[in-house]
Amino acid sequence: MRPQRHSTPRDRRIDRNDYRKLYVQICKQGDPDGPIHWMIAMKYPGSDRCTRLHSTGCMGDRRLDIEYDKRFDSRSVESTHFLGEIRGGDSAIVEEEARKIPLQSCQLWACYLMLRLERRGLLEEGNYNHFMHCYKHSFVEHYGSGLNNVCPVHGH
């Protein structure tokens, strides 16, 4: 009889050399009364470079930025929080899920990317709940996670 294995994201990883770590990075506040920028960073362990995924721009003029080969320890980042690990091949799924989220404030957008990755089984549950409910957010521009893969703002 074979022992049963857990099906957590960590146990599904095949090759220890082909995985990436996911983080949420919270940037330094430029204006004391302004918002604090959040982004998701994806990098190989030990690398000083990462892929940044974030909602940028201002209300009514948002865009999704996926920036490759960026410095992980950027001077603009105030704190970095580990979210989990994924197989290297799953990085395309992270980008695919990022494109499905309605463009909104960077903080809410990052939380909804965590939620979508939890639902896909790429992150363990709990990250979304922690970052959504333990931080103060502005809900002026709040469009959710993109139900049925349709953005309520842009219709696709």
> Tokens at residue 24, please?
């949420």
Answer whether residue 149 shows pLDDT above 60: no
Answer whether residue 121 shows pLDDT above 60: yes
- Rounded Cα–Cα distance for residues 131 and 115 (Å): 10
Encode pLDDT of 15-25 as tens digits.
556 899 999 99
Encode pLDDT of 40-92 as tens digits.
999 999 999 999 999 998 888 889 999 999 999 999 999 999 999 999 899 99
Amino acid 14: pLDDT: 46
pTM: 0.78
Q: Shortest CA distance to 42 belongs to which of 24, 26, 29, 62?
A: 24
Dihedral, 59, 57, 50, 114 alpha carbons, nearest 10: 10
